[in-house]
A and B are shown apart, each in its own frame.
Chain A
Amino acid sequence: MTATTMDGDERQETANARRTGRALIVAIHSATRAIKLYPPEHQAVQKALGDLSAAALESKSVDADLELRVHGEFIFVNGTRLRLDLSNYASFGRVLELFRSAGVGAVRVVHDATPREWFALLTLLATVGATPDGDADELARRLHAAGVEAFETSAHADEEVEIEEREAAKAAARRTYAQSVALTKDVINSVRMGRVPSARKIKRAVQTIVDEVLTEEGSLIGLTTLREYDEYTYTHSVNVCIFAVALGKRIGMTKLQLYELGVAALMHDIGKSRVPTDLLQKSTALEDDEWRRITAHPWLGMLTLFQLRGQQELPYRAMIVAHEHHMRRDFTGYPQVIRQRTIAMTSKIVAVADAYDAATSRRSYQTKPYPPSAVLQEMRDNPRRGLDPVVVKAFITLLGIYPSGTLVVLDTFELAVVLGANTNAEMLSRPRVVVVSDGRGNLLQPPIETDLASTGPDGQFARTIIKTADPDRYGIRVSDYII
C-alpha cells in the first residue's frame, strides 16, 4: 500500500498547477522566440524574461517547488502532466523540441531564478541542442561556467525505457484497434441480420479508444494507415472514431465529451448496414436509384440508432452525427434539410474525419487512394466540399501537412514514410519519418527513423520533403513501417 501523490480535496490545486504550468510553458516559448529575434538588451527580450520569471514564481507559489520534465510527447510541471490543446500546442511543441534537442529530460529550479539566469538557461539550451554531442551534462557544465546556479538539469529518460514504453503503447493500440474493428463488424452484421447490437460493447470499444488517445494518440493514428481493402467498411468507422476523438482532444473536449463524440463517430455509417452490400461494393458508376439508396444511409443510420439496446438514454448525439455527417455548410449535401437546423460541431468533426479517411482509403470504386497530403490540401482549399474550414485547419495541425502514412521523396532523393506530425507546431511540414530507401532507390534494412526538423552541424535541415509519391509505384506498403 503506497501513499498517493494527491491528497485531500485537491481538484482546485491541480487545476491551479495546470494553469500556472501552462503559463510557464507559454512564457518559456515567448522568451525563446524573443531571444532568437532580438539582442539581449532589447526591450522585447527583457519583457519576455521578466514575464518568465514571474510565471516561474507563480508556479513555485502553487507547489513550493518547480521542476519541468519532458517524457515522450508530454510535459510535466511538478509531476502534473500538462494538457495540449489548440491554445498552447505551438508553445508545447517548441519547448519539447528545445529540451529534446539538448538531451535534457528535466530542469529543476532550485532557487528563484533571475531574468538573467533564465536568459542563460534558454540560450544554452538552444546552443547545446545545436551541438552534436550536446547533452544535459554539457548544459550543466556551461551553466556552472556562466555562474548560473539556479537550475539543476538531468538527462533525458533512458532511451531504451522510452522505446519499451513506445512499443508497449503500440501493442496496446494494436489490441484496441483490432478489438474495435471486430466490434464494428459485429455491430454492422448484427443490424444486417436484423439483430439489435449491444450498446455495452460499443461503449467499451469507444472508452478504450478514448483512453488510448488520451494517453498516446500517435500509436492509434498510425494504425489508421492500415486501410485494409477487404475490411474497409469496418476499419473506416474505427479510423473515423480515432481521428474524431484525437481532433476532439486537440479542440479541448473533456473525457466524457470525447466519449460521446467517439460513439457518434464509430456509429456514423451504421445506416450503411441497411444498404445492400453489393451496392456498397459496386465498382462501376451508380444509377440514379442506386445513388439515392446510398445517400439514404445518413437518415437510415439515425433510424437504426433508435434500436440500440441497453441505452439508459437514446444516443441522440450519435443520431445527429449519423444524420448530418454528409451535410455541407450550405446544406447542399444530403440528406435534404427542411427544418431550420445548425450543424453540430461533433458532426463537423466527424465529417472532416470521414472525408479524410474515405479519400485516403482503397475502396471498391476507388482502387487508387488519394495521397493524404493532397486530400488535406483539397479539404482546406475547396469550399465546395462544404467542410468547416476551422475544423479542417485544426485537423491539419493534428496530422501535419504530410500526415502519417504519406510516402515522401526527400531532397536527398531518399524515400520516407511519414510516422507522425512534428510536436513542434512551427514544423508542421517537417514530420517524423522513417527513411525506407537510400538516394539510389535501395531499400534500407533496417529503415532509419528521423525527425525532419533536426538540423545538421551547419544549422541547416538535414532533409526536406520535395514531393509526395505513390506507394504503389514503389511497391511500398506504408503500414509496414508504422505498425
Chain B
Amino acid sequence: MTIGRDTAGLIRLSEAVDAFLAAQSAPPRAEYRVRLVVEEAVTNVIKYAWPDPTGACTIEFMLSRESNDFVVRVKDNGVAFNPLLAPQPDFDTPADLRRTGGLGVYMVKRASDSAAYRREDEHNILELRIRGDE
C-alpha cells in the first residue's frame, strides 16, 4: 500500500492493518505491538521525512506474515534518516519537562523483536519484526 504524507493516508493504512491482523487471528499482544510500530513508524516519516517537500512524497508500506512473525516494511523517499540511531528521550527528566521528540521511535524499537534499516536508491527502508505467537 502506498500513501502520501498526510494523516488521512495513515488512517486508511491503520484500517488495512486492522483487517490484516483480524484475518491472521493475531494474538492480542502481537496485535497491539504491530499497531503500535505501524502508527509510530509511519507517523515519524510523515512528520520528519520531508522538511522541505518538493515533488511526490511517498510511503510504501507492507505488512506480511513470515513464519510466525509479523513483518512491517516502511519505505519512503524522504531525507536520509536511520530512526534506529535516534537517541532515546531523556527519561531522567519528568515527562512534563522533557524536550518533545524521540518517544515514537523509542516505542518502535521497544515493541519490535528485531529492527533493521538501510538506505537504498534514495529511499529509507525500515523493517520491523514482531513475534506472532504472543
Q: Does B associate with A?
A: no
Chain B interfacial positions (CB closer than 8 Å to A):
none
